[in-house]
Chains A and B, each alone.
Chain A
Amino acid sequence: MRNIIEVKDFVKKYDKFTAVDNVSFDVEEGSIFAFLGPNGAGKSTTINTLCTIFDKTSGTLTIDGKDVSRERDAVRGVIGVVFQEPTLDNKMTVMENLIMHCHFYAIPKSEVVERIQFVLELVELLDWKKAMVSSLSGGMKRRVEIARSLLHYPKVLFLDEPTTGLDPQTRAHMWDYIVKLQKEKNITIFLTTHYMDEAEICSKVAIMDGGKIVAMDTPYRLKQQYTKDKANITTSDEQGLTLLLDAAGFIYKKKTGYYSIEVDSIPKLMEILSEQKDSITDLEIKKGTLNDVFLAITGKDIRK
C-alpha cells in the first residue's frame, strides 16, 4: 500500500504560539486514520492545513503526491472535507446543495443525477432530496454534508469531529457509513475525534497533545504497549487473596466488595485464581482502553 498523505516536520505557529510542533506522519491509502486528542491539541490546525485552508509555517505536506501549499487546486480536487461546523447552504434544498457542489467541482452534466442518487442512497436520504436544508435535523445535515463531500469521488475524505453533537444512535449510524465507504470505495479517511470508542475502529491512531504526536500505532498495539489488563475479583476469602497477591507482587487496590488488580502476566493471575477457585464469587477482566493509553502517555484524562 502506498502512502496517500505524507507529512514531514510540519510546524504551524500563530505569532508566538506554536499550535503544531514538528509533526510527521504518513497515511496509507484506503485506511482510516484518526487524530485523537483533547481540544487545542492541534488536530484541527493540522486538518485545516492539509485541506489547504491554513498555510504551514514550515515542513512538507503532500496529498496524493501533490504539495498542499504549492498545488492547492490539484489537492482541492482530490479531497472531500466535512468540517466541524455546518457548511451547508441553509436557504436551498438538499438537491440544490448537491447540484451546486457538482458545479464547483466541474462534474460532467451527464453524471450529476446519477452521482447525486448514489451519494444520497449511501447516507439513506433519498426521500429528503427536496427538503430545505434548514428543516433537517443535526444528524441529517451531517449526512448531507458527507454525501456532498463524496460527490466528486475524492481520494481522501477529511472528517473533523464528524460525530460531535450527535446522539448515540446517529453516531453509530455515521460510523456504518464511514466504514462502508472505506471498504467499498477504498477512500482514505482522515478524521479527528475526542471519542475514544470511535478511535478504536480506525486502522491507525495518532495521539496528539500540546501540538505534538505523542504516540502513533494501531489501537490494538497502543493498548498493548501502554495499558495493562485489570482483573476485578470478588472473593469470600479476602485475607487469603491479599496474602497471595502480596506474595506474587501484584499491584492492586481493595475497593468496596472487590479487588482491582493490575495484571502483568496472565499465568501468574491464573495461579492465584486456581488457588482461590473455591472462594472466588465474581471475576471480570477488563482490557485497557485508548483513554487509558492517553492517560498513561500524557498523565491527563482526555474526557476532562
Chain B
Amino acid sequence: MSNTKLNANGNGNGSDLDNNRTQAQVQAQAQGAAGFLQKVGAAVSEFMKWYGVPRLIITCFLLVLIILAIIYKMDLGSLLGDSLTRVGMNGLLVLAMVPTITCGVGLNFGLPVGIICGLVGGVFSMSMDLTGFTGFFVAIALALPLSVIAGWLYGKLLEKVAGQEMMVGTYVGFSIVAGMAIFWLTAPIKNPSMIFAIGGQGLRYTLTLQDYFGGILNNFLAFDIVIGKFTMNVPTGLLLFFGLFCVLLYLFFRSRTGLAMLAVGSNPQYAASSGVNIRRMRYTGVIMSTVLGAIGILVYAQSYGFLQLYNAPLYMAFPAIAAILIGGATLRKATISQVIIGSVLFFTLLTTALPVVQTVLDGSEVGGGISEIARMIIQNGTILYALTRVGRR
C-alpha cells in the first residue's frame, strides 16, 4: 500500500540512492549527534514503510483504548489475558487464508467448508464420549480426511470458476452451512446431552464441551502473570499450538512445493514454464486451507467451550479475512508475520473495545451497541478496502 511511492522513485535509480546514502553517512560522521538523530530518523521511516499506514492507525487506536482502560482503572490483566486467548483461538482460522492467497485463489471466503468438517469431527468425537486430549485429537483425526475430501471437491469447483473464486467461495460457504443444517437435524447421534431434549433426534444448537475437550489447550501449562493488582492469564498451550502451526506453515512456504505454490499465485505462466503443475498447486492450496479451517474451528471451540452448529459458521470467515488484511496481506501475497500481526491487532481490538467503551460511557446500553458497530465497521471496512484494490498493482 505504501509501496506506490517507492515504485515511482525507485525505478532504476539504484546507484543514485547509494550515492545519497554514502553522502549521508559522511555527513553523519562529521556532525556527530545530529547524524545520530538522522540515523534514528531513517530507521524509523524504514520501519514505517514496512509497517504501513493502516496498521499504524489501528495500533494507535488500540493504544488509546489501553490508555483509556488505565485511566478508568479497569482490570488490565483480564483485558490483555482475554486478548491473548482471542488471538490464539482465532489464529489458525487466519492462518487458513495464507495457502489460498499464495496459490492465487485469493481470500478463502469458503472457509465454512473446512469449519463444517471440523465441527463434524468434534461432534463424532463427543458422541464417542472421548474426553481430554484424546477427545481433541480424535476430533482432529476425524476431521482431517473429511476436510481433505471436501477441500478437493471445493478446489474442483473453484477450478471451474477461475477468476471469481472469492465470490463463488462466499456462496459455497453460505450454502454448505445451510445444507449442513439438515445433517445436524438428522445425524445419527444418540448421546442425550447432545440432542434436543424433546423428540430424541437432532443436535442442539450449542454443544457444551466442558466435559469433553473444553479448554484443553488453554489450560495446558497455563500460568498467571501478576502485575501489581492485576493478574493476567496466559493460555500457554493455545499459543504454543498456534505457534507450532505458524512455524510449520512458514517452513512449508520455504519448501519446494511451497515455493511452487508461490510461483503459481504470483505468475501462473512463469510457474508453467518452470514445469510446475498449476492445477495441482491450486488444489493443494485449497485443501490446506480447508484442513486448517477444520483444525482451526476445533481450537476455537475448545477455547470457547462450545461447539456451535447450524448457522454459527456462516460468518466465521469474515473476522479471519479482516485480521489477515489488517496484518498487511493483499489478495496476492500473505506472509506468516502478517497473520500474527493482523491477529494480534484485530482480535485485541475486538476484545478491548467492548469493555472499554462500555466503561467510558458509564455502562450504558449505548456502549455495547457502539462497540459492536465499531467492530462491524472495522471488519467489513477492511475487507471492502482490500477488495477495492483487486488487480491494482
Note whether A and B form a binding pair. no
Interface residues of A (CB under 8 A from B): none
